[in-house]
């Protein structure tokens, strides 16, 4: 099993610290979402893991070895950093065959990944005729080419259509279920919540969180209940007797924080107040993420003076 291990990793550009004494591990068998505001240091960390940049101090290893020391990197680590790297004048198939040849990967594998990423029908078209979504799929095909134990993917859903987004979600989950180590950086919180088991969150180059997705959300946001009733006053009084407070919304509905649907429903029934609406307001990753990073964002918009 192959983990990514980052230990006391720092990277300075001039006087700026892009990555600041960072320590975390990305484990096999789960999808780890890699989150953080613009400039938090995610790309720099990925570049350091891939040996594309030298750390100022600390180490980043894959299966205990530096990327540069891997004998067949493409067979160990699949990478999607920028889907625009393929030559426009080549066909998608030729692009992958060239990559495969440098790593002694058989052509049959090229056709398998083309089929697996939904590109079989356009494989003989020049890449310059591809839509952004097709280019993205080609980048993912290249990452999968060496059947790697580790995948490092930067914004893999970029440019994908709704079917593509469902496809990538299922692909990531399948890759993790096969025991691979999958690190995915993204700014799309709903997307990340749909595929990640675990989160690593950075802010200003430092580690802000390294924990299971569910734990991250539950620790920061409490669920609530949305309700509307024929006689809100009577229901609010009944809720207050049970220690619950409700806040009014703009549309005539009320939100009862830190409560469960079953509890509010029972209190309404006991008070004899008919309910017009009763729904769980699930805590979201977006709420939890914004709660954590609000104070950390490098580029938080400042109120403009008039």
User: Contact residues for ligand ATP (CB under 6 A)?
Assistant: 13, 16, 18, 36, 38-44
Nearest approach, Cβ of residue 291 and ligand ATP (Å): 19
Token readout for 300 is 């938080």
Contact 81, 48 (CB under 8 A): no
Strands 198-203 and 181-185: unpaired
Nearest approach, Cβ of residue 43 and ligand ATP (Å): 3
Encode 162-231 in three state secondary structure: HHHHHHHHHHHHHHHHCCCEEEEECCCHHHHHHHCCEEEEEECCEEEEEEEHHHHHHHHCCCEEEEEECC
| DSSP assignment letter at 68 | G
Q: Which is nearer to ligand ATP, 18 or 150 (CB)?
A: 18
Contact 208, 239 (CB under 8 A): no
Euclidean distance between CA atoms 102 and 196, whole angstroms = 32
Nearest approach, Cβ of residue 299 and ligand ATP (Å): 9
Q: Which is nearer to ligand ATP, 2 or 185 (CB)?
A: 185
Q: Which is nearer to ligand ATP, 40 or 60 (CB)?
A: 40
Q: Which is nearer to ligand ATP, 44 or 117 (CB)?
A: 44
Helical ranges in the chain per DSSP H: 42-49, 73-76, 92-102, 107-116, 132-144, 162-177, 189-195, 213-220, 232-241, 261-271, 285-293
Nearest approach, Cβ of residue 154 and ligand ATP (Å): 8
Q: Which is nearer to ligand ATP, 14 or 233 (CB)?
A: 14
Nearest approach, Cβ of residue 192 and ligand ATP (Å): 13
Q: Which is nearer to ligand ATP, 73 or 203 (CB)?
A: 203
State the greatest distance between any 2 C-alpha atoms of the chain, in Å, as a whole number. Answer: 74
Name the residue among 76, 83, 99, 13 with its Cα closest to residue 48. Answer: 13
Nearest approach, Cβ of residue 200 and ligand ATP (Å): 12
């Amino acid at each position: 099993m192959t983990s990514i291990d980052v230990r006391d990793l720092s990277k300075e550009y001039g006087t700026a610290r892009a990555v600041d004494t960072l320590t975390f591990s990305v484990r096999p068998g789960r999808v780890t979402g890699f989150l953080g505001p613009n400039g938090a240091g995610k790309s720099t960390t990925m570049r350091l893991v891939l040996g594309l940049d030298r750390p100022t101090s600390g180490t980043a290893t894959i299966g205990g070895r530096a990327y540069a020391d891997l004998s067949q990197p493409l067979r160990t680590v699949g990478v999607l950093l920028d889907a625009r790297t393929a030559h426009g004048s080549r066909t998608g198939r030729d692009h992958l065959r060239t990559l495969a040849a440098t790593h002694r990967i058989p052509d049959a594998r090229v056709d398998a990944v083309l089929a697996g990423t939904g590109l079989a029908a356009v494989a003989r078209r020049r890449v310059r005729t591809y839509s952004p979504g097709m280019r993205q799929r080609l980048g993912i095909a290249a990452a999968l080419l060496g059947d790697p134990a580790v995948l490092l993917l930067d914004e893999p859903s970029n440019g994908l259509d709704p079917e593509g987004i469902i496809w990538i979600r299922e692909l990531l989950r399948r890759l993790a279920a096969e025991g691979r180590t999958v690190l995915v950086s993204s700014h799309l919180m709903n997307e990340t919540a749909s595929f990640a088991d675990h989160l690593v969150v950075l802010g200003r180059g430092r580690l802000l969180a390294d924990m299971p997705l569910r734990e991250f959300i539950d620790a920061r946001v409490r669920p609530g209940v949305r309700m509307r009733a024929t006689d809100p006053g009577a229901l609010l009084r009944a809720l207050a007797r049970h220690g619950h407070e409700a806040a009014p919304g703009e549309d005539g509905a009320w939100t009862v924080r830190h409560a469960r649907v079953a509890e509010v429903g029972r209190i309404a029934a006991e008070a004899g107040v008919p309910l017009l609406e009763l729904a769980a307001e699930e805590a979201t990753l977006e709420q939890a993420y914004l709660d954590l990073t609000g104070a950390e964002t490098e580029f938080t918009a400042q109120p403009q003076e008039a």
